[in-house]
């Protein structure tokens, strides 16, 4: 039997859709609208192209809908992957709950926020049912209570607030809203379609599969030699890691399809949640590849097709009440998130609580998906579905703007890293530090280069590192690290000397390729990096231990090495084996005074010890709380 390939398929509609996906980020970058979610513009362009420029045959439309569905599955998978299971598990209460512990526990506060929002959402849906016909008030309220982790995370990350107490409260609350919304959607859709039936219990089979895969994964990852084989097959034509993850997604999706089409949402979401439990939300190389597949191909097709199939004529069902309904719906969508957010007032004050409520009001993929499922079930009318698509656009645009307006970014406040010199190395370092949620400011004296760096979305100041007044403007603090990267040994030495003599600053790092300059820098107390030694060491590692080197370099966003001081008096005098360190934290070195040694289970810790700990961001934060 010979494989038959037909060349009669019309690629023009797919080319137009992908052309929109390609052009959108270029347009946003060109007009400097970096903070506008590209999916919003993709929906708008999809509508314009579909209604005014191209006609698609039934066959092409069928294929585009299949690709759009694949994009939706990928989107739900990545939504599950965005949820950090480590953070949720770390927030589980382990002691008796009182008011103080309740208010400081992100998981408990997030659950309360969701429950209050759900009650308010049901009440708002009931009120709106007086304006228009709503076939299922409960399902309508579930759509309104959704939120978007995908919008909240980038906003907090750009502000450097992901690891703050406030940022963690918002992230956990958004994750809880996502998880419970999807659960309620799945069960509600199944009941609406099939009624209360024994088959409803089949949905639990997905959770059984989730648990089985989790247990298998825990065992597989400890098999000797598997990591080496995985690395060897993860490149070039094999791409075994990517193939494994795609297979994992499809296993959950296929099982979900056998249970019911409305369960696909939960299946794809659970596959992402499962992977998150193993990867700890790290952006390893395989995740970069998955992001490329998802956001580079499948997901844009989904959003362009949302716009393409958006039918404004469906608004005619509202007649004269359309404007009043849309305004009332928008106000309701904000209020059901703003009111529960007042629970954060005792911790962060009214301004932060209200701003957090506005950010929680952002909605994107989940509200569109849930509304589309409701439309297919017949409980959401075409007009209401179109309204929710418009609300996704409106809240995505308004919520981050209101959040930043109430809490303007104070770039110069708090601990930061200052890079003097805007070289390509400085830009790369700034981006890598941002992945660790560290605040970085670049100082560049060349106006053209300053403009170029600013257009990359990085924080940059126009100034000269030899200008004493510069450091007052950027609020140099003793705890700030200063990297001197001016591209010249003489200039690096001069700037470092200025910082040491004029400001007595201690945390200075620079680089050199000359022994004479290196000796002078070290005499001043500056950490000087010899580029020649770094290059030699890198090449040595590539030759002697290539697998280890690639694993460390390609997963630097996932794991970090940190120095943590022991300040907890309860830890003083205890053995290492008696301290419940996080599973993803490895204690590598203990420094006590001028001595350093490799610890073991019998080692004792003392107040003032400095622990060199390697692990995930969550594990490091957990270690700080236990010993700090």
Query: Does the pLDDT value for residue 337 go beyond 90?
Result: yes
**Residue 560: band (very low, low, confident or very high) from pLDDT cuts 50, 70, 90:** low
DSSP character at residue 297: I
| Mean per-residue pLDDT over the chain, rounded | 81
**Mean pLDDT value across residues 251-257:** 88
Query: Does the pLDDT value for residue 339 go beyond 50?
Result: yes
**Mean pLDDT value across residues 30-38:** 69
Residue with the larger pLDDT of the pair 311 and 6: 311
Q: What dihedral angle (degrees, nearest 10) is formed by the CA atoms of 173, 179, 183, 184?
A: 20
Query: Does the pLDDT value for residue 118 go beyond 50?
Result: yes
Query: Does the pLDDT value for residue 169 go beyond 50?
Result: yes
User: How far lies 153's CA from each of 2, 157, 259, 323, 391, in Å?
Assistant: 50, 6, 32, 32, 20
**Mean pLDDT value across residues 323-348:** 91
Query: Does the pLDDT value for residue 229 go beyond 70?
Result: no
Query: Does the pLDDT value for residue 468 go beyond 90?
Result: no
Q: What dihedral angle (degrees, nearest 10) is formed by the CA atoms of 325, 331, 337, 339?
A: -120
Query: Does the pLDDT value for residue 131 go beyond 80?
Result: yes
Give exposure, 583-622, as e/b (b: 16+ Cβ within 10 Å). Answer: ebbebeebeeeeeeeebeeeeebeeebebbbbbbbbbbbb
Find out whether 391 and 333 touch, Cβ atoms under 8 Å: yes
Query: Does the pLDDT value for residue 210 go beyond 70?
Result: yes
Token couple for 490: 């003489």
Nearest-angstrom CA–CA distance, 106 and 413: 25
Residue with the larger pLDDT of the pair 133 and 34: 133
pLDDT score recorded for residue 197: 72
Query: Does the pLDDT value for residue 326 go beyond 60?
Result: yes
Find out whether 266 and 181 touch, Cβ atoms under 8 Å: no
Residue 614, strand partner residues: 561, 586
DSSP element (H, E) containing 434: helix 424-435
Query: Does the pLDDT value for residue 69 go beyond 70?
Result: yes
Query: Does the pLDDT value for residue 551 go beyond 70?
Result: no
Find out whether 176 and 111 touch, Cβ atoms under 8 Å: yes
Residue 615, strand partner residues: 560, 585
Residue with the larger pLDDT of the pair 231 and 523: 523
Q: What are the tens digits of pLDDT across the range 279-321?
A: 654 445 566 677 778 888 888 888 888 888 888 888 888 877 8
Nearest-angstrom CA–CA distance, 132 and 186: 25
Nearest-angstrom CA–CA distance, 356 and 541: 46
Q: What are phi and psi of 336, to 5 degrees?
A: -70, -10
Nearest-angstrom CA–CA distance, 285 and 279: 11
pLDDT score recorded for residue 170: 87
Give exposure, 505-536, as e/b (b: 16+ Cβ within 10 Å). Answer: bebbbbbbebeebbebbeeeebebebeeeeee
Q: Where are the beta strands (DSSP E) in 553-615?
A: 560-565, 585-592, 595-597, 610-615
Residue with the larger pLDDT of the pair 452 and 154: 452
Give exposure, 426-450, as e/b (b: 16+ Cβ within 10 Å). Answer: bbebbeebbeebbbbbbbbbeeebb
Residue with the larger pLDDT of the pair 52 and 504: 504
Q: Which of 232-236, 288-292, 470-474 has the highest mean pLDDT?
A: 470-474
**Residue 86: band (very low, low, confident or very high) from pLDDT cuts 50, 70, 90:** low
Token couple for 576: 């290492």
Q: What are the tens digits of pLDDT across the range 506-524?
A: 899 988 887 888 888 888 8
N- to C-terminal Cα distance for the chain?
69
Query: Does the pLDDT value for residue 498 go beyond 70?
Result: yes
**Residue 99: band (very low, low, confident or very high) from pLDDT cuts 50, 70, 90:** confident
| CA nearest neighbour of 262 among 139, 110, 90 | 139
pLDDT score recorded for residue 281: 44
Find out whether 412 and 418 touch, Cβ atoms under 8 Å: no
**Residue 35: band (very low, low, confident or very high) from pLDDT cuts 50, 70, 90:** low
The distance of Cα 545 from the centroid of its chain, to the nearest Å, equals 32
| CA nearest neighbour of 265 among 151, 183, 326, 357 | 183
* Furthest CA-CA distance within the chain: 82
Nearest-angstrom CA–CA distance, 363 and 143: 10
pLDDT score recorded for residue 242: 79
**Mean pLDDT value across residues 413-422:** 84
Nearest-angstrom CA–CA distance, 357 and 330: 14
**Residue 4: band (very low, low, confident or very high) from pLDDT cuts 50, 70, 90:** low
**Mean pLDDT value across residues 249-263:** 85
Query: Does the pLDDT value for residue 405 go beyond 80?
Result: yes
Cβ burial of 239 (10 Å; 0-12, 13-18, 19+) is middle
Nearest-angstrom CA–CA distance, 279 and 275: 6
Please give the domain boundaries of the chain with CATH numbers for all domains. Answer: 12-406 (1.20.1530.20), 417-539 (3.40.50.720), 559-627 (3.30.70.1450)
User: How far lies 532's CA from each of 520, 537, 539, in Å?
Assistant: 17, 9, 11
DSSP character at residue 208: H
The residue to which tokens 């049912």 are assigned? 129
Query: Does the pLDDT value for residue 332 go beyond 80?
Result: yes
């Amino acid at each position: 039997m010979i494989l038959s390939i037909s060349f009669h398929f019309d690629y023009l509609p797919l080319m137009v859709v992908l052309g929109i996906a390609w052009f959108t980020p270029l347009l946003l970058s060109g007009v400097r609208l970096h903070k506008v979610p590209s999916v919003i513009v993709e929906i708008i362009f999809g509508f314009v192209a579909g209604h005014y420029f191209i006609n698609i045959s039934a066959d092409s439309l069928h294929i585009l809908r299949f690709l759009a569905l694949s994009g939706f599955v990928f989107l739900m998978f990545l939504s599950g992957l965005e949820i950090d299971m480590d953070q949720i598990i770390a927030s589980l209460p382990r002691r008796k709950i009182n008011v103080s512990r309740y208010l400081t526990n992100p998981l408990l506060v997030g659950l309360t926020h969701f429950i209050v929002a759900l009650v308010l959402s049901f009440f708002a849906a009931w009120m709106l049912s007086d304006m228009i016909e709503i076939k299922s008030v409960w399902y309508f309220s579930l759509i309104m209570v959704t939120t978007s982790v995908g919008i909240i995370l980038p906003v907090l990350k750009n502000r450097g607030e992901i690891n703050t107490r406030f940022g963690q409260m918002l992230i956990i609350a958004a994750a809880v809203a996502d998880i419970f919304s999807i659960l309620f959607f799945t069960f509600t859709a199944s009941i609406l379609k099939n009624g209360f039936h024994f088959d409803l219990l089949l949905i639990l089979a997905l959770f059984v599969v989730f648990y089985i895969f989790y247990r298998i994964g825990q065992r597989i990852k400890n098999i000797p030699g598997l990591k080496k084989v995985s690395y060897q097959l993860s490149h070039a034509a094999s791409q075994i890691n990517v193939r494994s993850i795609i297979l994992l997604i499809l296993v959950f999706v296929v099982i979900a399809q056998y249970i019911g089409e409305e369960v696909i949402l939960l299946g794809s979401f659970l596959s992402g949640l499962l992977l998150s439990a193993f990867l700890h939300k790290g952006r390893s190389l395989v995740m970069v590849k998955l992001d490329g597949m998802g956001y580079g191909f499948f997901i844009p097709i989904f959003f362009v097709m949302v716009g393409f199939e958006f039918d404004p004529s469906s608004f005619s069902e509202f007649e004269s009440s359309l404007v009043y309904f849309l305004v009332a719906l928008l106000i309701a969508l904000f209020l059901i998130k703003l009111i529960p957010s007042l629970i954060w007032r005792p911790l962060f004050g009214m301004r932060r609580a209200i701003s957090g409520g506005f950010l929680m009001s952002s909605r994107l993929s989940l509200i569109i998906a849930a509304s589309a499922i409701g439309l297919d079930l017949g409980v959401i009318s075409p007009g209401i579905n179109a309204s929710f698509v418009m609300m996704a656009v409106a809240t995505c645009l308004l919520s981050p703007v209101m959040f930043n307006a109430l809490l303007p970014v104070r770039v110069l406040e708090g601990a930061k890293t200052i890079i003097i010199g805007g070289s390509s190395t400085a830009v790369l370092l700034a981006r890598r530090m941002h992945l660790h949620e560290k605040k970085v400011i670049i100082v560049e004296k060349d106006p053209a280069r300053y403009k170029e760096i600013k257009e990359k979305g990085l924080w940059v100041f126009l100034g000269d590192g030899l200008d004493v007044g510069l450091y007052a403007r950027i609020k140099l603090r003793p705890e700030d690290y200063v990297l001197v990267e001016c591209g010249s040994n003489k200039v690096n030495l001069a700037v470092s000397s200025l910082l040491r003599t004029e400001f007595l600053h201690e945390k200075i790092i620079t680089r050199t390729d000359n022994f004479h300059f290196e000796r002078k820098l070290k005499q001043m107390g500056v950490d000087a990096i010899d580029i020649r030694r770094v290059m030699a060491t890198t090449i040595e590692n590539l030759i002697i231990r290539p697998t280890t080197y690639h694993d460390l370099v390609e997963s630097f966003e996932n794991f970090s090495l940190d120095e943590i001081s022991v300040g907890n008096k309860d830890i003083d005098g205890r053995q290492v084996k008696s301290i419940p360190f996080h599973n993803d934290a490895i204690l590598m070195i203990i420094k006590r005074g001028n001595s350093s040694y490799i610890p073991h289970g019998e080692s004792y810790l003392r107040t003032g010890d400095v622990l060199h700990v390697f692990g995930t961001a969550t594990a490091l934060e957990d270690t700080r709380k236990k010993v700090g």
